[in-house]
Structure 1
């Protein structure tokens, strides 16, 4: 019975905290959001399975982490350039069919990754058919095809 009550308590506090924090889609998740979810899951696991009955501690940890996430979101909206510092900025990897090798190495993306995105989204088979390939903040690669001639 104790485990059931713990599970209900953790579920309810997570539900309330995430309703207050707002929604984010998985595709728009930043690195901080992923880290936040991993830490929340660990705190939740400890509260659910731990021997120390630290439900309150887990709740405070979760609330603190979400509050930090909200504060970072506020900072990104209010301070120019903060979003680029916190989340990074988009990176142009291919410009008119030419791959920028130094940028590819810096962000650990291969030409195969770019071509995969190009095939999946546009049916493009060759790099020369890509006008721009952009690594977005969320980790996805946006492809802008060259205009048809």
Structure 2
């Protein structure tokens, strides 16, 4: 039973930490981010299993984490408030070529981040060519180009 409580506690702590870190943490992974992820995973593994390195303990932990994740999935499915609280909602970063400075600061995303996405996804190299840039709930930046005049 102790292992189930530890698994739920670690899941909730990681959920809160990544919520506080914000969606920007999901945008791009640097070598520092990879190192941090490895350290977090090792610390998480130790917290989850403690001194129990049995197959049964590992399976119980895995099942607990999957069940907790499924419960949050159902909660988000039936409650838009829970979904918004857990995943956030899309944020418009650029509108008609103009950066929305307050929103950019709020989500800790720079115009450079927006332009990287614009160049990679659409070959857009000028901010003025972006109709909308939207930071999605999953951390991806969606770019809607301005209509080209033919």
Fold conserved (TM > 0.5)?
A: yes
Aligned pair in 2 of structure 1 residues 87, 59: CA closer, same or farther (>3 Å)? same
Aligned position for 2:54: 54
In structure 2, distance between residues paired with 1:90 and 1:104: 12
Question: Once the 2 structures are TM-superposed, how far is the Cα of residue 57 of structure 1 from its aligned partner?
Answer: 2.1
Q: 1:82 and 2:82 equivalent?
A: yes
In structure 1, distance between residues paired with 2:57 and 2:115: 47
Q: TM-score, normalised by structure 2?
A: 0.65
Aligned pair in 2 of structure 1 residues 108, 125: CA closer, same or farther (>3 Å)? same
Q: 1:43 and 2:45 equivalent?
A: yes
Question: Once the 2 structures are TM-superposed, how far is the Cα of residue 39 of structure 1 from its aligned partner?
Answer: 5.5
Higher alpha-carbon Rg? 1
In structure 1, distance between residues paired with 2:58 and 2:45: 5
Figure out how many residues of one structure are paired with residues of the other and give that number.
114
Gap regions ≥5 residues in structure 1? 1-30
Q: Which protein, 1 or 2, shows the higher relative CO under an 8 Å CA cutoff with sep ≥ 6? A: 2
Do the aligned partners of 1:95 and 1:133 also contact (CA within 8 Å) in 2? Answer: yes
In structure 2, distance between residues paired with 1:115 and 1:39: 31
Describe how 1:1-149 pairs up with structure 2 within 5 A.
42-43=44-45, 52-149=52-149
Question: Once the 2 structures are TM-superposed, how far is the Cα of residue 64 of structure 1 from its aligned partner?
Answer: 1.1
Do the aligned partners of 1:114 and 1:133 also contact (CA within 8 Å) in 2? Answer: yes
Aligned pair in 2 of structure 1 residues 146, 106: CA closer, same or farther (>3 Å)? same
Q: TM-score, normalised by structure 1?
A: 0.65
